[in-house]
Amino acid sequence: MHWLNWVIVGLYLVFVVWDGLRRTKGTTNIEGYFLANRSLPWWAVGLSVMATQLSAVTLIGTTGQGATDGLRFVQFYFGLPIAMVILGVTLVPFLHGAKVYTAYEFLERRFDARTRTLTSLLFLLSRGMSCGAIISAPAVVLSAIFGWSLSACVALIGVPTVIYTVLGGVQAVTWADVKQMVVIVGTMAAIIVVLILRMPVPLDDALALAGATGRLQVFDFSFSLSNQYTFWSGIIGGTFLMLSYFGTDQSQVQRYLTAKSVDEARSSLLMSAYWKIPLQAAILLVGVLVFLFYLFEPAPMLYNPTHDRAVQVAEPAVHAELTQRYDVAVAAREEAARTAALTRAGGDAQATSAALEAYRARDAAVGVVRAEALKAAGRVTGQSSRDVNYIIPRFVLDHLPLGFAGLFLAAVLAAAMSSIAAELNSLSTATVVDFYQRRVKADGSDAHYLSVSKWATALWGLFACGVATYAATLGSLIEVVNRFGSFFYGSILGVFLLAMIPRARAPGAFIGLLAGMTTVGLISWRVPSIAFLWHNVIGAVVVVAVGLIVSVGRARTLEGYAGPRA
């Protein structure tokens, strides 16, 4: 990579750390460190909420998803606006008015200490693992492309993030998020412009080629529990996931607890409701445009250069044979794509249909060879050979003008750092407030808790880095993050739903939570064909159902012990 690109990356990292150090003012007490003294404006909180979600996983994994699978992944977010409206009139005003530090404090007030502890523990596990996946996305790509060790790449991402998170607390995290959103959105807009300008055929004809392979299909109204992304899984499963994520996940709850008032907290969430789906669609569109770009330019057979080299060294004859077939198939696809675009411009519908059909056949032939190459890579390396996370980085490094690679790398680091910082800060908050302060030392000074919080942040950073090496082998990282979350989120949401039902009691909440987690675990193990979005629905329903049954049964038992009344 050119030295100018490294200068851009270096300047960005220095600026982020400097700005975090500058914002250490006001973080000498626990409320300032964890909640910025509840003083942040709604627009800053809203941008922080969006930046927390818009991780490097999104920039790398979602764009790759768009290139291989098209726009249908956007259905995943269809439940978001519904969830935001529900939370705006339920949990947000209650939690903000309760003046709590964590969402799980409320559960002890409503139920008991063990329900609070178990729920907070589940959050720590889910968020700690998800944080590892967020670190993994840029680390594995940088490692493969530049030949660096994975630990060095993790350090490049993790060390600056831990520094400004430890020193500046949530205030530094939030204002860094604001700047990082500008970098991320600006970079993606610039890439879209470059892709459109470099397209050798008119954009509408190019999009017709994407549509011919199904990549512009947004809606899938089929109802199938095994189909990952459909309208119904997004509306139903997605609503449950978003309710849990934004309503009960400390990394999000902590964002709107920093707002000045309930109305500003609501406004911060509604910003995500309005802008998240269009932003995700735009990021997926980048992936679609990269796919179209590679119709007319030589495309790598394997986007992961490490795997390509491994096959070439271990099985040179196989690699040579696959490369020859792939080059022939790619050349045939390019010719068919150009023919289809020209035929479409001519306006002959019948000829256009035939040309598009021929193009689809050539594209399928390319997919067959790539599938064989991916299989060979998996056989040689013993690792998952899915290279969806390498598509956009390879395009950026190989084809974008000078400076754009540095800008993209800065955007990836910005996205990773904003999400990681938010995760680490929330993990530290829950650790200190729900465990250390509640069960170890209840009478410590603010200075003592502040010191423990900083150590907790650093330790969770180490844990996430360890998870990152495992998450790298699990395929599309945008799916990995949401699989981790969906395993826990439904059950956690179920406990909060029980808390809003007057008849629910503490034993029912605790047993229901155990039942929900057990059920989701068994389904994940025994029925893996059920799409992970439905785990959120299943977990929540089981917790509420079991919790109410136990609560009502216990109430009747106690009434029996009390005996008849005069």
Whose CA is closest to 173, among 184, 186, 188, 160? 160
Map tokens 């008032």 to a residue.
261
Q: What is the pLDDT of residue 565?
A: 45
Give the ranges where 73-149 is alpha helix by DSSP (H). 80-89, 91-97, 103-110, 113-146
Cβ atoms 213, 363 nearer than 8 A:
yes
Rounded Cα distance, 330 and 363, in Å = 8
Cβ atoms 77, 234 nearer than 8 A:
yes
Residue 71 CB-half CA count within 13 A: 20
Collapsing DSSP to helix, strand or coil, 289 comes out as helix
Whose CA is closest to 367, among 202, 215, 208? 215
Domain ranges of the chain: 3-294+396-468, 305-386
Q: What is the pLDDT of residue 245?
A: 81
> Could you tell me where the beta strands, DSSP code E, fall in 346-481?
none
User: DSSP characters for 515-565?
Assistant: HHHHHHHHHHHH-TTS-THHHHHHHHHHHHHHHHHHHHHHHHHHHHHH---
Collapsing DSSP to helix, strand or coil, 81 comes out as helix
Which backbone phi and psi does 259 adopt, to 5 degrees?
Answer: -70, 160
pTM: 0.78
Cβ atoms 87, 95 nearer than 8 A:
no
* Tokens, residue 404: 């754009």
Which backbone phi and psi does 401 adopt, to 5 degrees?
Answer: -60, 165
For the chain, what percentages of helix, strand and coil (3-state, to nearest 5) are there?
Answer: 80, 0, 20
Rounded Cα distance, 336 and 329, in Å = 10
Q: What is the pLDDT of residue 541?
A: 93
Collapsing DSSP to helix, strand or coil, 407 comes out as helix
Q: What is the pLDDT of residue 542?
A: 95
Collapsing DSSP to helix, strand or coil, 40 comes out as strand
Cβ atoms 369, 331 nearer than 8 A:
no
Q: What is the pLDDT of residue 360?
A: 93
Q: Specify the DSSP element, H or E, that contains 397.
A: helix 391-399
* Tokens, residue 192: 């879209």
Which CATH superfamily groups domain 3-294+396-468?
Answer: Sodium/glucose cotransporter (1.20.1730.10)
Cβ atoms 386, 476 nearer than 8 A:
yes
Give CA 501 to chain center in angstroms: 31
Which backbone phi and psi does 270 adopt, to 5 degrees?
Answer: -65, -25
Q: Residue 204 burial by CB count (10 A; 0-12/13-18/19+): exposed, middle or buried? A: exposed
Phi-psi region of 99 (alpha: psi -120 to 50; beta: other; left: phi over 0): left
pLDDT in tens, the chain (566 residues): 677 888 888 887 777 767 766 665 555 666 666 666 666 776 777 777 776 666 666 777 788 888 888 888 888 888 888 888 888 888 888 777 777 888 898 889 889 999 999 999 998 988 888 788 777 777 766 776 677 877 788 777 777 777 767 776 666 667 767 777 777 788 888 888 888 998 888 888 899 999 988 888 888 888 877 777 788 888 888 888 888 888 888 878 877 777 778 888 888 878 777 787 888 888 899 999 999 999 999 889 998 888 899 999 999 999 999 999 999 999 999 999 999 988 987 778 888 899 999 999 999 999 999 999 999 998 998 877 778 878 888 888 888 887 888 888 887 777 777 777 778 888 988 999 899 988 888 888 878 888 888 889 888 988 887 777 666 555 555 566 667 778 888 899 899 989 888 889 999 999 999 999 999 999 988 888 888 878 888 999 999 999 999 998 776 665 565 555 44
User: DSSP characters for 178-211?
Assistant: HHHHHHHHHHHHHHHHHHHHT-SS-HHHHHHHHH
Cβ atoms 273, 85 nearer than 8 A:
yes
Please state at what angle helix 3-22 crosses helix 404-430, rounded to 10 degrees.
Answer: 30
Q: What is the DSSP letter of 297?
A: S
